[in-house]
Amino acid sequence: MLLSLLIPCYNEEKTLANLVEHVLRIADDELKLQLVIVDDCSKDNSFAVATELAKKHPEIKLVRHERNQGKGAAVRTAFAQADGDVVAIQDADLEYDPQDLKRMLVPIRDGRADVVFGSRFLSANTHRVLYFWHSVGNRMLTLLSNMFTDLNLTDMECCYKVFTRDVAKRLVIHEDRFGVEPELTAQVAAMRLRIYEMGISYDGRTYEEGKKIGLKDAFRALYCIIRYNASHAPAFLQFLVYAVLGGVAALVNLAVFLALHAGGAAVTVSAPVAFVVAAAVNYGLCVWLLFERRVKWSTPMELVLYVILVAVLMWVDLQITAGLMAAGSSPGWAKGLSSVAGLVLNFLGRRFIVFPQRKSGEWKPSGAGKGDL
Query: Per-residue pLDDT tens for 52-63?
Result: 999 999 999 999
Residue type, 345: L
Asked if 35 and 60 count as a contact pair (C-beta separation under 8 A), the reply is yes
Rounded distance, CA 80 to CA 74, Å? 10
At 45-87, the pLDDT tens digits run 999 999 999 999 999 999 999 999 999 999 999 999 999 999 9
What confidence tier does 212 reach under pLDDT thresholds 50, 70, 90?
low
Higher pLDDT, 367 or 290: 290
- State phi, psi for 289 to the nearest 5 degrees: -125, -35
pLDDT at 211: 63
Q: 236 versus 183: which is more confidently predicted?
A: 183
pLDDT at 368: 37
Ordered alpha helix ranges (H), the chain: 16-24, 46-56, 71-81, 99-104, 106-109, 132-149, 165-170, 180-190, 215-229, 235-262, 267-285, 299-326, 331-349
pLDDT band at 189 (very low <50, low <70, confident <90, very high): very high
Give dist(CA 239, CA 349) in Å, integer. Answer: 12
Question: What are the CA-CA distances from residue 194 to residues 110, 112, 166 (Å)?
Answer: 12, 7, 13
**Cα 341 from chain centroid?**
31
Helical residues (DSSP H) of 25-172, grouped into ranges: 46-56, 71-81, 99-104, 106-109, 132-149, 165-170
Predicted pLDDT of residue 275: 81
| Of 187, 334, 350, 200, nearest in space to 267 by CA | 334
Domains of the chain by range and CATH?
2-229 (3.90.550.10), 235-354 (no CATH)
pLDDT at 369: 34
Tell me how far apart the alpha carbons of residues 221 and 224 are, in angstroms, rounded to a whole number: 5
User: Residue 368: CB partners within 8 Å, gap ≥ 6?
Assistant: 172
Per-residue model confidence as pLDDT tens digits over 218-268: 888 998 998 899 877 887 888 888 888 888 888 898 899 899 989 999 888
pLDDT of 78: 96
- Min mean pLDDT across 94-103, 127-136, 294-303 is at 294-303
pLDDT band at residue 293 using 50, 70 and 90 as cut-offs: low
How far is residue 239 from each of residues 98, 182, 189, 338, measured CA to CA in Å?
Answer: 42, 21, 19, 18
Of the pLDDT bands very low, low, confident and very high (cuts 50, 70, 90), residue 306 is: confident
Q: Using the predicted structure, report yes or no on whether residue 314 has a pLDDT greater than 90.
A: no
pLDDT (tens digit, 9 = 90+) per residue, 101-141?
A: 999 999 999 999 999 999 988 866 766 776 787 778 889 99
Segment 155-173 mean pLDDT? 94
Q: Are 68 and 9 a contacting pair, CB within 8 Å? A: no
- Look at residues 301, 258, 261, 286 and name the one whose alpha carbon lies nearest to residue 343: 286
CA 194 to chain centre: 19
121 CB-side CA count, 13 A:
15
What pLDDT does 124 receive?
63
